[in-house]
Structure 1
Amino acid sequence: MIPQTLINFMVYDDKGSVTGIADVEMPKLEAMVATIKGNGVSGEVDIPILGHYKNMELTLNFRTVTDRSLAFSYNKSHYADCRGSIQQQDNVTGEVSTVQIRVVVKGMPTTYELGKLSMGEANENKLTLSLNYIKVLLNGKQWIELDKYSNKCIIDGVDLLESVRADLGMTK
């Protein structure tokens, strides 16, 4: 299969309501690192810390101010469910089909820009959430789940922090 394009997407809040017309800047997953240096190491090596990531941000760029976009600016934890449809083509048969991409996040607003008022134009307001949770599913399969408050980091079905939670006495 050859992935071709994102056909369309919707963003829902925790009540299942559409949040408005927006484009979404997805978060960057950047591992926290420790620098290893000393005897037996030629120089320094940065190594990722298992299951730990720097601050993640998701930005919603709304075309206009709406009651739903304003509700996201309230200083509390918010839920956003981004669902898209990706077009793909079978490189042998030429058959075109779709798969769902779904990104679920929880986080608190750190920035809300009301945008610009200009006659006959979108005012393009912008909301940035600092995330404590993200889950990414492609075609129904969960590929990533990061839950910073629960010490959970699951990548392709492998819980990278399971042994850490056990070491810390956090298992049931």
Structure 2
Amino acid sequence: MGQVDETVIGFAVYEDATEYLGISEATLPEISNITEEISGAGINGKYETAILGQIEAMTLTLNFRTVTRNAIKLFEPRRHNLDLRAAQQNQDPTKGIVGVTKVKHILTVVPKKLNPGKLATASAAEVSGEYAVMYYASYIDGKKMLEIDPLNYIYYVNGQDNRWEEIKKALGK
């Protein structure tokens, strides 16, 4: 048996790789390929195919406990460069060693929605922001594992450009 991935120990949100934005909870963007239903002569029925490198719009959600300057700052109508740094706990059950994996998510986002939350005594305000994702990359222990950049024709998954070099050549780029 290999390594057992257990949990996120903690994480932090930064803007421009330096400015700590506070306590938050994040829902990372779902990456969904654009699909097309195929039917016609020579096919017995229909099937769905994922179109190479084409993705649906991505959204990041950040939840803050209270109304903060940084939660409001992230609503400024401009691009924000965020990185979410996580420490994840894992265990090697054969050696009995608990370890830490470093994970970093780099995102360029534009604000879509700000929910200032609620006010109640002795309670979190449950503030949230929703952001359109223009760029998304994930690194595990410093190694790039994922990079999605629709504006620059980048669709990099698990060490491979996933056919975009071929597509860019066909388009003369």
TM-score class normalised by the smaller sequence? over 0.9
Residue 103 of structure 1: aligned partner: 105
Cα distance in structure 1, aligned partners of 2:83 and 2:26: 11
| TM-score with structure 1 setting the length | 0.95
Letter in 2 for 1:143: M
Contact 2:17/2:83, CA 8 A, preserved across alignment: no
2:170 is matched with: 167
5+ residue gaps, structure 1, are none
Say how many residue pairs are matched. Answer: 170
**Letter aligned with residue 62 of structure 2:** L
Deviations 1:112-166 (A, max 9, x none): 1000011222211100111111001112111110001101101111112111112
Displaced runs of 4 or more, over 6 A: none
Q: For 1:15 and 1:157, how far apart are their aligned partners in 2?
A: 24
Aligned twin of 1:6: 8
Q: Where does residue 23 of structure 2 map in the other structure?
A: 21
**Letter of the aligned partner of 1:11 in structure 2?**
V
User: Is the contact made by 2:108 and 2:134 (CA closer than 8 Å) also made in structure 1?
Assistant: yes
Q: What's 1:70 paired with?
A: 72
CA offsets 1:25-60 (integer angstroms, 9 cap, x no match): 111111100111101111111100111111111100
Hey, what's the Cα distance between the residues in 2 that align with 1:143 and 1:44? Answer: 33
Q: Which 5+ residue runs of structure 2 have no aligned equivalent?
A: none
Matched, 1:130 2:149: no
Quote the residue 1:43 is aligned against: 45
What residue is the counterpart of 2:118 in the other structure?
A: 116
Q: CA deviation at 1:167?
A: 1.5
RMSD of equivalent CA atoms: 1.0
